[in-house]
Structure 1
């Protein structure tokens, strides 16, 4: 299995495409610039199976509808943010100057409780990691050794908690209970910035070392 990180839009939000040897793929957090996503899919000859959202902030959902419509695939989101896709005041797009209010059609599927998930040819562990937002989730591909964390954890930093539903202590609890308990050599694929690892953040992240 392979993955690619695609920084998209004015905030350079990381979308991820996870794909296997059969050319099936999952699309994670298509935040903007749908054409860049299409170009990579076409270049590799991939067959998308689903869109997965780590959370429903505007910079992670802007290309959901064009990608969903083109490939006729379902969108998965946590139940706690089911109303956020169509509500700019919840997804945060009303709070930033120069950002058009973003409204996206409802998710097709809601994630069940945390645990093992299978979607098409892919299996992973769903980790509930709220704090940056109420329905934040992470996708842990244990056999492949990486976890996609959205805006929960960054290289040397953590997600902001000043948007609707954000709670700093809940975020820190999610990081410690769900992410820092993973094997230390697990790669961390964040919603912004570069790839890091659990070990790197345990040793050097000032926001979590004192929790």
Structure 2
């Protein structure tokens, strides 16, 4: 099992591809540039079987329908944001001048609780990590030692909370109670910027000191 990071779009949102040895893969946050992503997957002869969203801000969902329709695969999102895909005001595309209004189709499956999920060869835990947005979730691959954290935790930073539905106190609670409880060697695959580890952020992230 291995992962790849593909920055997409104007905001360089990190899309992650997690693949198994049999060439099946999961797609996390296909933010935009669907054709570029399809070309990348085709070149590596990968077979996507599902799309998982950490949250539904516009820069994380722009290529959802293009990828879903091309591969005929389902989309998963947390119930707190199940309406965001279809509403430009909720997903933020209405307020970003460089972005067209985004009205995606509804997700195929709604995540309603923290649980361990198994799909084909992939096994991971769903962690509810709200704060950046109400329905933010992280996907923890315990055996492989990494977590897809979306915009909750970044290298030397944390997600912004000044957008509609953001809550700084709740985000800090999510980070400390859900993410920082993971093993320190866990690799953090953030929604923007470089990767990091739980241990590195515990030691040096200025936003986490003194909480």
> In structure 2, how many angstroms separate the alpha carbons of the residues matched to 1:123 and 1:196?
22
Unaligned 5+ segments in structure 2 are none
CA distance in 1, matches of 2:121, 2:49: 8
* Per-residue CA distance 1:67-126 (angstroms, 9 max, x = gap): 000000000000000000010110011122221111110000011310211123211010
Following TM superposition, the consecutive aligned residue runs of length 4 or more in structure 1 with deviations greater than 4 angstroms are none
Q: CA deviation at 1:40?
A: 1.8
Long gaps (5+) in structure 1: none
Deviation at 1:5, TM superposition (A): 0.2
Q: Distance in 1 between matches of 2:119 and 2:52?
A: 10
**SS of residue matched to 1:165:** coil
Q: Does 1:71 align with 2:33?
A: no
Q: TM-score, normalised by structure 2?
A: 0.98
Number of matched residues?
A: 211
Q: Which residue of 1 aligns with 2:62?
A: 62
Which of 115-124 and 156-165 deviates more? 115-124
Residues 146-190 of structure 1: CA deviation (Å, up to 9, x unaligned): 000000000000000111110000000000000000000000000
RMSD over aligned Cα, in angstroms? 0.7
Residue 161 of structure 1 corresponds to 161
Give the Cα–Cα distance (whole angstroms) in 2 for the partners of residues 38 and 31 of structure 1.
13
Alignment of 1:85-96 (within 5 A): 85-96=85-96
* Alignment partners' CA distance in 1, 2:34 and 2:88: 20
Distance 2:99 2:167 in 1: 24
**Pair 1:104-2:109 in alignment:** no
Q: CA deviation at 1:47?
A: 1.0
TM-score for the superposition, normalised by structure 1: 0.98
**Aligned partner of residue 185 in structure 2, secondary structure:** coil
SS at 1:192's partner residue? coil
Alpha-carbon deviations, 1:173-211, whole Å to 9, x = none? 000000000000000000000000001100000111111
Q: What is the Cα deviation at residue 140 of structure 1?
A: 0.3
* 1:41 shift after superposition: 1.1
